[in-house]
Structure 1
Amino acid sequence: MVLETLTISDAVELAVVERSGFVESRHVGAAIVLSPDGDTTAVHGNADALILPRSSLKPLQAVASVTAGAALEGDQLALGTASHTGTDRHAAVVREVLAAGGLNEDDLGCPVAWPSDSATRRQMISDNLAEARIRMNCSGKHALMLRACLATGWPIKNYLAPTHPLQVHIREVVERLTGEKVAHTAIDGCGAPVHAMTLTALARGVHRIGTASERSPFALHRVAGTLVRAVRESPWTIAGPGEPDTIAIETLGVFAKGGAEGVMVMVAPNGATVALKMLDGNGRAATIVAATMLARAGALAEADVVTLAAALQLTVLGGGEPVGTIRPGSAV
């Protein structure tokens, strides 16, 4: 049997693209908003449909890797939950993580890639450098996973196999944080397992991470609190200059993590949380929709969200001039 995500009838209008007073595109999907205490305060569409969180799962995977023994802090820890743009600064931190464990780039199980940062890519081409695993946007997560294996004594060979002890541990932590059994396991673009769950479960897991205290008597919560602080203190790590997650953290003080195929999670400073999925897989409006939902829940200032929208460059151009915008839809 093939499982599937929400259907068109499960979805509502989360965003529109307006050009010269004409709505030319609509992004539909589903979303859920949790209060600072974790109670459901709003549901848009079917939040109990299954999704693949993609890179929005990284905070949960990172917490699991640290509880398995990868004792990283600061920028090194933040890179473990990142979808970075492959700049020299990102690559340098990942190399530090690997070198401290006696590892090198060849130990990474992610595929080779060019950095998504255009300036870095141009410089690499100019320098006659090739694609590299360390430039792949998930290399920080993979380095963290390798360090967890070393700390626990698990083999680094085949560390991405769903049956590897590390991946079994990650799955158990994911289920503990989300309060939901994994419905299906797929293989993400970087080669790591990614677990299907409902949007409700994803929101619950990210809320628990985003509201965790570093002073908690529970190690899992202390790790989560440390992770969130590391990302908020160094927003460049989570993505890169000019990237939506980095901009949102810098502008709003939130904890934000986008995922491929239109997934987004965002936790406001007071703990209110949003998880959403754009059904068409396009995430261009995901950040502003999530922030708008948090503002309407009273967790963010409307003026700050306006500032965010300007920074995200959501303007639609015609002949090089502004003629419209990408904005939240009728269901938000």
Structure 2
Amino acid sequence: MNAPVSMAEIWRGPFLESIHMGHAVVCGEGGEIIESWGDPSAIVLPRSSSKMLQAMPLVESGAADAFGLTGEQLALSCASHQGAPMHTDRVQSWLKNLGLSDDDLNCGPQTPRDEADLILMHKTDSSPCRYHNNCSGKHAGFLTLSQHLGSKDPIYVDPSHAVQKACLAAFEELTEETSPGYGIDGCSAPNYAASLHGIARAMAFFASATDGGNTRQKAAARLRDAMRTYPELVAGNGRACTELMHAMDGRVTLKTGAEAFFIAIVPEKKIGVALKIVDGSTRGAECAIAAILVRLGVLDPNHPATLKRLHAPILNFAGQHTGEIRAGLAFQ
């Protein structure tokens, strides 16, 4: 097992103050490793970076077409949104069309990350709902699939539920691995583990999938393209996924996951990327994924969205430039 390597560094003046260590893999369309850092065989929980895998049964089963889901809804099914009205209004409408309500979501209520909506919530003395949960789009997808499968069990996040069995099957088939187990995610759904190589292999499948392929390829292409067509629904204003997808003009699909996970899907190169920062630092993961995308030639190193995360200045409370976050030795 290879040790994690330096992927992001924090400099204060002339001193290296902190280092974010991690692992990353770039896979080709055949699942082969093109480039790697650290340990490709490291077992990881991809967290929300696996949402497109969890959404595969929604499309592949025919549920998405049966319920007339739009590209926006497919993007939301893969989203970790910030609870802005552009997210919550769509989720509520989706639930209404299913004949369901906030109470039917198995995810817990979550305070929105969107500043304007949070201020409004405080002003009106209202409480967060389940549809504010960053995973509510994924859960609306789970409910859609559950209805399509004819399940009467309302606890669709139970690993024994037909929805989660379908998610696990898709996960294992696309990673080409038998999962060693799962942890319960922040939204209460099981999150299955795989090797970092397995996750990158799955993302390479999404990257190489075409609309003219078989049922699985068509489903993967629809989800991938929905995400890069509606990047603001995948995360939200100011978020790395949204800003970096815009910076690359929709050429790449990105998705973060909790505890410093990140994936990238690059259709023009038919490659997939999986990244894990071992200390769980979001700033480390955002810096490292930007460095990899620049290295792959798909992200402009001088774009403002890049510079916000790679070679980004660190300012103190007086506005003084005290240091910066840089790509680690792995990328130098």
TM range (shorter): over 0.9
> Which residue in the other structure is 1:226 paired with?
222
Counterpart of 2:236, as a letter, is G
Q: Does 1:177 align with 2:170?
A: no
Q: Report the Cα offset of residue 108 of structure 1.
A: 0.2
Q: Report the Cα offset of residue 331 of structure 1.
A: 1.1
Q: Report the Cα offset of residue 46 of structure 1.
A: 0.8
Mark the runs of 5 or more structure 2 residues left unpaired by the alignment.
none
- State the Cα deviation string for residues 135-188 of structure 1 (Å, max 9, x = none): 010000001000001112122411100011111111001111110111111111
> Which residue in the other structure is 2:233 paired with?
237
- Of 66, 70, 76, the match for 2:63: 70
Query: 1 CA distance for matches of 2:81 and 2:216?
Result: 25
Q: Report the Cα offset of residue 21 of structure 1.
A: 2.1
> Which residue in the other structure is 2:298 paired with?
300
> Which residue in the other structure is 1:322 paired with?
321
Q: Report the Cα offset of residue 280 of structure 1.
A: 0.3
Counterpart of 2:125, as a letter, is N
- State the Cα deviation string for residues 221-240 of structure 1 (Å, max 9, x = none): 11111111111111101000
> Which residue in the other structure is 1:202 paired with?
199
The answer to whether the 8 Å contact 2:54/2:167 transfers is yes
Counterpart of 2:243, as a letter, is I
Counterpart of 1:79, as a letter, is L
- State the Cα deviation string for residues 264-300 of structure 1 (Å, max 9, x = none): 0012242332211000011213233123223324x42
The answer to whether the 8 Å contact 1:59/1:206 transfers is no
- State the Cα deviation string for residues 49-100 of structure 1 (Å, max 9, x = none): 1011100110100112222343122111100000000001100111121111
The answer to whether the 8 Å contact 1:272/1:294 transfers is no
> Which residue in the other structure is 1:32 paired with?
25
Query: 1 CA distance for matches of 2:258 and 2:157?
Result: 19
The answer to whether the 8 Å contact 2:183/2:192 transfers is yes
Query: 2 CA distance for matches of 1:304 and 1:232?
Result: 20
Query: 2 CA distance for matches of 1:282 and 1:289?
Result: 11
Query: 2 CA distance for matches of 1:203 and 1:123?
Result: 40
> Which residue in the other structure is 1:186 paired with?
183
Counterpart of 2:148, as a letter, is A
The answer to whether the 8 Å contact 2:32/2:201 transfers is no
Query: 1 CA distance for matches of 2:295 and 2:309?
Result: 19
Counterpart of 1:257, as a letter, is K
Question: 1:194 aligns to what SS in structure 2?
Answer: strand
> Which residue in the other structure is 1:168 paired with?
165
Instruction: Give the TM-score normalised by the residue count of structure 1.
Output: 0.92
Aligned counterparts, 1:31-50, within 5 A: 31-35=24-28, 38-50=31-43
Question: 1:111 aligns to what SS in structure 2?
Answer: coil
- Of 141, 144, 148, the match for 1:147: 144
Taking only the aligned residue pairs, the percentage that are identical comes to 35
- State the Cα deviation string for residues 200-246 of structure 1 (Å, max 9, x = none): 00011122123211221x11111111111111111101000000000
Instruction: Pick closer, same or farther for the CA change 1:153–1:305 going to 2, 3 Å.
Output: farther
Counterpart of 2:230, as a letter, is S
Counterpart of 1:295, as a letter, is V
Instruction: Pick closer, same or farther for the CA change 1:248–1:158 going to 2, 3 Å.
Output: same
Q: Report the Cα offset of residue 125 of structure 1.
A: 1.2
> Which residue in the other structure is 1:3 paired with?
none
Q: Does 1:214 align with 2:211?
A: yes
Question: What CA RMSD, in Å, does the superposition of the two structures yield over aligned residues?
Answer: 1.7
Query: 2 CA distance for matches of 1:227 and 1:14?
Result: 29
Counterpart of 2:94, as a letter, is V
The answer to whether the 8 Å contact 1:31/1:47 transfers is yes
Instruction: Give the TM-score normalised by the residue count of structure 2.
Output: 0.92
Aligned counterparts, 1:70-89, within 5 A: 70-71=63-64, 72-89=69-86
Query: 2 CA distance for matches of 1:56 and 1:272?
Result: 16
Counterpart of 1:203, as a letter, is A
Q: Does 1:132 align with 2:152?
A: no
The answer to whether the 8 Å contact 1:288/1:308 transfers is no
Q: Does 1:56 align with 2:49?
A: yes
> Which residue in the other structure is 2:277 paired with?
278
